[in-house]
Chain A
């Protein structure tokens, strides 16, 4: 057995936080080969006894100047993850939108799907480059850990590289083949792209979830079953959680692209189109956001099932304050999403009728936000603590627990749904004979479900912990039931409804677009934060309980430091995204024409000056 010297469990100490690990990668064809070479080379290196023998000479860690190895890998891995999430998410909804366009024959949908896909090719290359950088980084900076993981997972590399190759083929066929194939063939290409992309993510997820909840190995870290190592406790939950989260993230970035194009749009048609794109992107993001807490709940359950102390470290120990930050982020997401919907109602004739409800919806959201963000243990000065008679406040204590927070989340989801419902019916008047009854039934369902959810929340205080945890499920299902039932009624209720007016796409204030950016940034930040806690909960382990972190970075940093790294990562990511947006926009630019008066900077559109001025004026006037 080749054991990384000094790394296996009972040797010296260390923790580790936040080195998000080998992640899913994607690459252009050339880069596929590149990574193949790297991985193959690494494997060859490890198998060659000439290299394996002089183990003393191999350091477990190498360092970088100016920046700690962990932070370097952390940032690269997170950037890689964000791009990969985007690249995997876009084909999912591009395919769905294209399919809608194909079924309805509405050309706009086809165009929208193409607009989203345009963002793909550059992002794909970025993802691959970052993936290669990550691989190099791990081999160079964490040789012993990499060696161990390669030993465990060597079987998975070949399918991974092959899938990569197919991903590239399908992606470019899907993108360049737009309109070149029959719709069915093209849809099939899109489907294959999604399947291959998902498979790639599943493989890479196996590597990193193994580090959290290692399975399929004996106590000394030797592999006993590769399938058990892949199918470890949190592999499937992470797969599902990431699939959904990718959708939300991809939708938000797509919406940000729409917002960016909207702000720069010069004609009304452009404005209308990109307003619509932003709206669809936001819609996708919010739809994906709603089931995310449930997927996260499943993930949490599996972590507890693997090792209770790992779960408690996550939720009750060092990281409990991280979930207060998470509450702030998600509260902001809900607030911004509702805000965007309310502003969107401005483009619909007849929406004025519903304006008066906004303040009540807002009040509920604020209240739920406050409950969710209330910490369980408080920060208090000595005098304050004295006044409270201890470190717990008698009233806040009630809000800081799971019962209250679950209730708050469910009500948040329901409120957002109501906002959407109001948006949906803004310009419609039901004409069916049972309109009044229908409305009443919908209202009744809401009332009953809200009362039920609140009742379960309160009831949770009077039962033991085991029962209390069980209560969250009926809460979730009643909310899901309300949303489905009300939607179904609504569809029939507004069949053949009288329209008060059309939706005036493009008639939306600029601050709504900034709300979309806010959503995208918040999503990215949230992703960075949760990536940190996923990696950080291993504390002083590389592979929890198996390979100990003996490097100088073994400690778990403060949340402020983690927040700084996440912020920097997010800013770098959006710089990259700006490049992606810019490059994606190039194809629709007019061709360069030599002109004697061309003194503008090279990336401006080569438009006649008067047209440009008019365009600038019109966009400013909005």
Chain B
């Protein structure tokens, strides 16, 4: 028993010693990255500021890239003068095009002396949105140059990010069937299929009453023609569809399948 106790004491002593060692090193708690809201009417300066934050934060660019380190043993290109050299890297590409390519397709061109290996920042886990990439480009341009990019600039390669993909799942094959769409976008809350009137007219037999073109119109511009007896509901359907993200998210293919489904009723 005596031994067991002294061994146990020894265990506590050694563990405490290692705890002390772990307290001796710098203590830093890392918080998860903040999401930065980006509006469409940012000024250039604001874009630069947000881009700088993303470069240091969510973009995790500075994990690999340095700013102002001119030693010869760098493993990744230094960025402190990128705004000046971006336009000179690839023949025929201006600085915006070059910076866009180096983010959407980073290994298409690798700076001589370095090894390809940069991740696709538009894809997870970094998953920058197109807007975020625009601000990053603005910031990079400001390093040694003058930002020319605006929130309205379109870039080669946009639409790759996961956010874009979720907004438009069509891009990935668009295979949600019409019945799913019918419930996903809450059509069924106002339109019954069994003839009973809800907030909107029942869709029972709608294919017999309306042509496909008319069904298209009823969905895309609901207030163009109001069904008899539902004048009070004018404007409701358009508002609701916008609220559930219908117009941004449904692809042409899906819309077509939905219309075909309805005209078959």
Do A and B touch, yes or no (CB under 8 Å, in the complex)? Answer: yes
Residues of A within 8 A of B (CB): 9-10, 12-15, 219-220, 260, 263-264, 307-309, 312-313, 316-318, 321-322, 324-325, 328-329, 375, 379, 464-466, 514, 517-518, 521-522, 525, 529, 539-541, 544-546, 549, 554-564, 566-567, 570-571, 574-575, 578
- A307 and B18 contact, Cβ closer than 8 Å, known pairs A325-B25, A578-B4: no
Q: Pick the contact of A539: B12, B32, B118, B127 (CB < 8 A).
A: B32
Residue among A9, A260, A529 making CB contact with B127, cutoff 8 Å: A9
Q: Are B22 and A544 touching (Cβ within 8 A)?
A: no
- B233 contacts the other chain (CB 8 A): no
Chain B residues at the A interface, C-beta cutoff of 8 Å: 3-4, 7-8, 10-12, 14-16, 18-19, 21-23, 25-35, 60, 63-64, 73, 75, 115, 117-119, 123-127, 162-163, 165-166
Docked-complex contact B22 and A559, CB < 8 angstroms: yes
Complex Cα distance A510/B73, Å?
Answer: 51
Sample of 30 A–B contacts (CB below 8 Å)? A9-B127, A12-B35, A13-B32, A263-B7, A264-B3, A312-B63, A313-B63, A324-B25, A325-B18, A325-B21, A325-B22, A379-B26, A514-B10, A525-B14, A529-B22, A541-B125, A545-B125, A545-B127, A546-B124, A554-B32, A555-B29, A555-B30, A555-B31, A555-B32, A556-B30, A559-B23, A559-B28, A560-B23, A564-B22, A567-B19
- The smallest C-beta distance from A391 to any residue of chain B, in angstroms, reads 12
Q: For the complex formed, measure the closest distance between the CB of A356 and the CB atoms of chain B, giving whole angstroms.
A: 30
Complex contacts, B127 vs chain A, CB 8 Å: 9-10, 545
Q: Given A9-B125, A562-B22, is A260 in contact with B10 using a C-beta cutoff of 8 Å?
A: no
Q: A522 CA to B35 CA in the complex, in Å?
A: 41
CB atoms of B124 and A571 under 8 A apart: no
Chain B CB count within 10 A is highest, among A260, A379, A466, A558, for A558
Q: Is A10 in contact with B163, judged by CB distance below 8 angstroms?
A: yes
Report chain A residues within 8 Å CB of B117. Answer: 308
Q: Complex: how many Å from CA A323 to CA B256?
A: 58
Q: How far is the CA of A517 from the CA of B12 in the complex (A)?
A: 11
Smallest Cβ distance from A99 to chain B, in angstroms?
31
A546 CA / B165 CA spacing, docked (Å)? 15
- B169 — nearest CB in chain A belongs to which residue? A220
Other-chain contact of B14, A15, A466, A518 (Cβ < 8 Å): A518
In the complex, which residues of chain B have a beta carbon less than 8 angstroms from the beta carbon of A514?
10
Cα distance A479–B166 when bound, in Å? 54
| A525 & B15 in contact (Cβ 8 Å cutoff) | yes
Q: What's the Cα separation between A70 and B42 when bound, in Å?
A: 40
Q: Which of B3, B16, B27, B60 contacts A263 (CB 8 A)?
A: B3
Report B-chain residues with C-beta under 8 Å of the C-beta of A316. 63
Contacts of A561 in B (CB 8 A): 29
Closest 10 CB pairs of A and B: A563-B22, A545-B125, A540-B32, A558-B27, A556-B30, A321-B25, A567-B15, A560-B23, A15-B32, A545-B124
Contact B166 A10 (CB under 8 A): yes
Whether A464 pairs with B126 at a CB distance below 8 angstroms is no
When chains A and B are docked, how far (Å) is the Cα of A557 from the Cα of B22?
12
Which chain B positions have C-beta within 8 A of A307? 119, 125
Give the residue of A14, A260, A554 whose beta carbon is less than 8 angstroms from that of B3.
Answer: A260
Q: How far does the alpha carbon of A466 sit from the alpha carbon of B165 in the complex, in Å?
A: 37
Q: Is the Cβ of A219 less than 8 Å from the Cβ of B19?
A: no
Q: Out of A9, A379, A563, which one reaches B18, CB within 8 Å? A: A563
B27 and A560 within 8 A (CB): yes
Do A13 and B35 touch (CB < 8 A)?
Answer: yes
Q: How far is the CA of A559 from the CA of B30 in the complex (A)?
A: 11
The distance from the CB of B73 to the nearest CB of chain A, in whole angstroms, is 6
- The answer, among A9, A324, A549, for a CB contact under 8 Å with B32, is A549
For the complex, what is the distance from the CA of A517 to the CA of B23, rounded to whole Å?
Answer: 23
- Contact across chains for B25 and A13 when beta carbons are under 8 A apart: no
**Distance of A566 Cα from B20 Cα, bound (Å):** 12
CB-nearest residue of chain B to A310: B125
**A168–B76 alpha-carbon span in the complex (Å):** 52
Residues of A within 8 A of B31 (CB): 15, 555
Residues of B within 8 A of A575 (CB): 8
Cβ of B30 and Cβ of A566 under 8 Å apart? no
The verdict on A219 contacting B165 (CB below 8 Å), with A10-B127, A555-B32 known, is yes
A309 to B11, CA, bound (A): 37
Q: How far is the CB of A337 from chain B (nearest CB, A)?
A: 15
Which residues in A have their C-beta under 8 angstroms from that of B115? Answer: 466
Across-interface contacts of B15 in A (CB, < 8 A): 521, 525, 567, 570-571
With both chains docked as a complex, state the minimum distance between the C-beta of A270 and any C-beta of chain B, in angstroms.
13
Give the distance in Å from the alpha carbon of A539 to the alpha carbon of B115 in the complex: 26
A464 to B73, CA, bound (A): 6
A residues near B4, Cβ cutoff 8 Å: 260, 264, 578
Q: Complex: how many Å from CA A473 to CA B163?
A: 43
Shortest beta-carbon distance, B162 to chain A, in Å? 6
CA distance A116 to B123 in the complex (A): 51
Which B residues lie within 8 Å of A12 (CB)? 35
Residues of chain B within 8 A (CB-CB) of A574 are: 8, 11
Do B124 and A219 have beta carbons less than 8 Å apart?
A: yes
Neighbouring A residues of B126 by C-beta, 8 Å = 309
Q: What residue of chain B has the Cβ atom nearest to residue A317's Cβ?
A: B63
Query: Which residues in A have their C-beta under 8 angstroms from that of B119?
Result: 307-309
- Closest B residue, CB atoms, query A616: B2
A549–B32 Cα distance when bound, in Å, is 9
A539 surroundings in chain B (CB, below 8 A)? 30, 32
Q: In the bound complex, how far is the Cα of B163 from the Cα of A578, in angstroms?
A: 53
Give the complex CA separation of A518 and B163 in angstroms.
52
Instruction: Output the nearest chain A residue to B113 by Cβ-Cβ distance.
Output: A464
B30–A525 CB distance below 8 A? no
Which residues of A sit under 8 angstroms from B73, Cβ to Cβ?
A: 464-465
Closest CB in chain A relative to B119 CB, distance in Å:
6
- When C-beta atoms are compared, the residue in chain B nearest to A581 turns out to be B4
Query: Shortest distance in angstroms between A605's beta carbon and chain B's nearest beta carbon?
Result: 11
* Residues in B neighbouring A556, C-beta threshold 8 A: 29-30
Min CB distance A320 to B, Å, is: 9
State the CA gap A432–B98 with chains docked (Å). 73
Q: Which residues of B contact A545 (CB under 8 A)?
A: 124-125, 127
Identity of the chain B residue whose Cβ is nearest the Cβ of A256 in the assembled complex: B7
Nearest chain B CB to A599 CB, angstrom units: 15
CA distance A508 to B3 in the complex (A): 16
Give the complex CA separation of A564 and B25 in angstroms: 13
Q: A264-B3, A563-B23 are in contact. Are A329 and B18 (CB under 8 A)?
A: yes
* Complex: chain A residue closest to B117, CB-CB: A308
Further 11 A-B residue pairs, CB within 8 A, beyond A559-B22, A560-B22: A309-B60, A321-B25, A379-B26, A544-B125, A554-B32, A559-B23, A560-B23, A563-B23, A564-B22, A571-B12, A578-B8
**B21 contacts which of A220, A379, A466, A563 (Cβ < 8 Å)?**
A563
Q: How far is the CB of B93 from chain A (nearest CB, A)?
A: 24
* Whole-angstrom distance between the Cβ of A147 and the nearest chain B Cβ: 20
Complex CA distance for A554 and B29, rounded to whole angstroms: 11
**Chain A hits for B63, CB < 8 A:** 309, 312-313, 316-317
Which of A313, A379, A525 gathers the greatest number of chain B CB atoms within 10 Å? A525
The verdict on A571 contacting B11 (CB below 8 Å), with A13-B33, A549-B32 known, is yes
Report A-chain residues with C-beta under 8 Å of the C-beta of B123.
219
- Chain B: minimal CB distance from A313 (Å): 6
- Across-interface contacts of A308 in B (CB, < 8 A): 64, 117-119
Chain A nearest CB from B132 CB (Å) reads: 11
Q: How far is the CB of A175 from chain B (nearest CB, A)?
A: 24
Q: Is the CB of A557 within 8 A of B29?
A: yes
Residues of B within 8 A of A566 (CB): 18-19, 22
